């Protein structure tokens, strides 16, 4: 188990002074990076190892949304590591131990020279010490692209959106996907579940479509596609 305390910052909250989805994922990304760094496979090690962690899936379940300046305690651990993928779980609690949220994620190691997925060696697995404990009873579900869409939001990837891997930062997929939600859904709905399935990275200058479909009253999907609609970059599902 890797544990850290965090304080919710102004940038982490929404217009209602609640911890936003962006804020949740920002905290999860940060503690994941800190844990990887402590195991010798973090950001500062990339130049040496020529390896970088790339995320394939996020799944977040929210029980409550604390406000600005609230102190949180976050735990993370690899719940499963195979030859290619690392599954990382998270638990967020408040100062008195109330469970705020749980999350799981799926990662691979990318060789930055060949741009190919690298195998996770026994040495790497040993360094991360996986714990066979999962916050969800079922594994991450593969999200399906809808057959049709009600609306689109078009966006061109800017310099401010890019991360250290020269891709659209995974946090920004959720933020931009919310731009595709109808106003009445965005303003009147508090989601307690957010899932993201990443398929193909977006890079600087890409123009992409965020395509919205209402699956049911409490199930909303946004597919991120290329401008010509031929390439699927990611799918985001919001549920109440």
Which of 80, 104, 79, 100 is CA-nearest to residue 90?
104
Q: Is the pLDDT of residue 188 over 90?
A: no
* Residue 127 neighbours by CB under 8 Å, 6+ apart: 39, 40, 41
Tell me the pLDDT tens digit for each residue of 128-185. 999 999 999 988 999 999 999 999 999 999 999 999 889 999 999 999 999 999 999 9
Decide: 186 and 153 in contact? Cβ < 8 Å.
no
Q: Which two tokens stand for residue 123?
A: 């040495």
What's the rounded Cα separation, in Å, for the pair 13 and 218?
Answer: 23
Same domain flag for 160 and 106: no
- The reply to whether 213 and 162 lie within a common domain is yes
Shared-domain flag, residues 96 and 207: no
| Same domain? 186 vs 90 | no
pLDDT one-digit tens code per residue, 108-144: 999 999 999 999 999 999 999 999 999 999 889 999 9
- Range of the structural domain that residue 235 is part of: 151-239
CB count within 10 Å of CB 137 equals: 5
Task: Look up the CATH number of the domain holding residue 70.
Answer: 3.10.129.10
105 and 170 belong to one structural domain:
no
CA triplet 124, 33, 19: central angle to 5 degrees? 145
Share of the chain above pLDDT 90, in %: 92
Mark whether 101 and 173 lie in a shared domain: no
Residues 164 and 107 in one domain: no
Instruction: Answer yes or no: do 66 and 113 share one domain.
Output: yes
Total number of domains constituting the chain: 2
pTM above 0.85, yes or no: yes
Q: 97, 128, 159: which is the final residue of a domain?
A: 128
pLDDT at 240 over 90: no
């Amino acid at each position: 188990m890797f544990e850290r305390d965090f304080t919710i910052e102004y940038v982490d909250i929404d217009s209602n002074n609640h911890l936003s989805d962006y804020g949740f994922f920002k905290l999860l990304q940060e503690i994941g990076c800190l844990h990887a760094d402590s195991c010798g496979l973090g950001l500062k090690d990339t130049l040496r190892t020529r390896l970088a962690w790339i995320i394939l899936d996020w799944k977040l379940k929210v029980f409550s949304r604390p406000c600005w300046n609230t102190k949180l305690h976050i735990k993370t651990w690899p719940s499963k590591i195979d030859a290619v993928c690392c599954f990382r779980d998270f638990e967020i609690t408040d100062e008195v131990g109330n469970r705020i949220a749980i999350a799981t994620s799926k990662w691979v190691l990318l060789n930055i020279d060949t741009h190919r997925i690298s195998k996770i060696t026994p040495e790497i697995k040993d360094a991360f010490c996986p714990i066979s404990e999962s916050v969800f009873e079922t594994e991450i579900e593969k999200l399906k692209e809808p057959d049709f869409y009600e609306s689109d939001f078009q966006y061109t990837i800017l310099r401010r959106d890019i991360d250290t891997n020269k891709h659209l930062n995974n946090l920004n997929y959720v933020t931009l996907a919310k731009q595709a939600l109808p106003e009445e859904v965005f303003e009147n709905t508090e989601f307690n579940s957010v899932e993201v399935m990443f398929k193909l990275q977006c890079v600087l200058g890409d123009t992409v479509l965020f395509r919205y479909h209402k699956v049911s009253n409490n199930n909303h999907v946004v597919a991120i596609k290329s401008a010509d609609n031929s390439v699927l970059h990611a799918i985001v599902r919001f549920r109440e």
